[in-house]
Structure 1
């Protein structure tokens, strides 16, 4: 179970409708609504600066939050919509949905790479190139995995790890059908440089030992 579900602090908003929403915005807040979970909707407001900072970090609409509202029980929510000003592109309203423990949701789960010291390719100086440091999975709200583990033991230079090589947490599945790449082990820079030098040498020898260039043949004739 993920132990780091971020808190999202909000205040209960007095009144609903356009008038109350405008009053919240004038006070430096972003109005919102919490719905779902077989209980009445709850009108809330969140400080503009806090919401704007979270939006800039990305993944806001695919992150599970622990919503904390004074006078209310904590509840897990996920954002379903953020309305923005058509001119300034700033948030003006948000919709949050309460989640039951059995609700299926899409979340980005971080990837952890282990056993680098047991990878022959890394011992030879190879470098792990991470293509995805997080993976979007369909998970159950009541059983969200903390991470996806990728075991690098036994991997050599040139080896690639795809999602089919990874054991996903129980009950989770990817949102993408294709077998996408998670990481690979690339040759060290020095080895790449040596290979490039060898290629250039071979090409030079072929030119030297082959037939004379067309310009020289034309001159001789």
Structure 2
């Protein structure tokens, strides 16, 4: 009798274990299906909507991709599932490359249509300063280089700037100076501070004389 009960108990445990494994495999299959379906659904999203919400799409993709990869471990024979997952991943990467290229083109077109942004890019580097006028990326270690690039760029292009350009340059210069006041408290070296002072002495008369010249030139052309 004891042997019968023991055998029955072992059988029930085996059945429960098998059932548990089947449930895990079934759930894993559903997880892969969800991933594949999600990627397929992106093909039905309007291009402009997809680009406008790309950050959210990417976050959801990464989550579902990770779940699908983990689910493969719960499949006894996952070769077919792996093939489906790989195909969906390739489809997503192609879509991502397409949209990122289009977004890059749109960004470049926006800069080309915005003279102020072109000027900011020249003075500080591509995309470093936007409409938010944030200089938080400037610190005690790079501020001297920022001033050097700024003054050097202005000196090189001073004869080509309009009065509006000079006004924008002054606005950027004052914002940079404001950031310098903060950086000084964060450990700016005396040597770098001295070099920055020399650059400021170089910039001041260059700005005054050339802005006056630009204004005079505009007035002269207006009278012609």
Q: Return the TM-score normalized by structure 1.
A: 0.21
Comparing both structures, which one devotes a greater share of its residues to helix? 2
Q: Return the TM-score normalized by structure 2.
A: 0.21
Pair member with larger Rg: 2
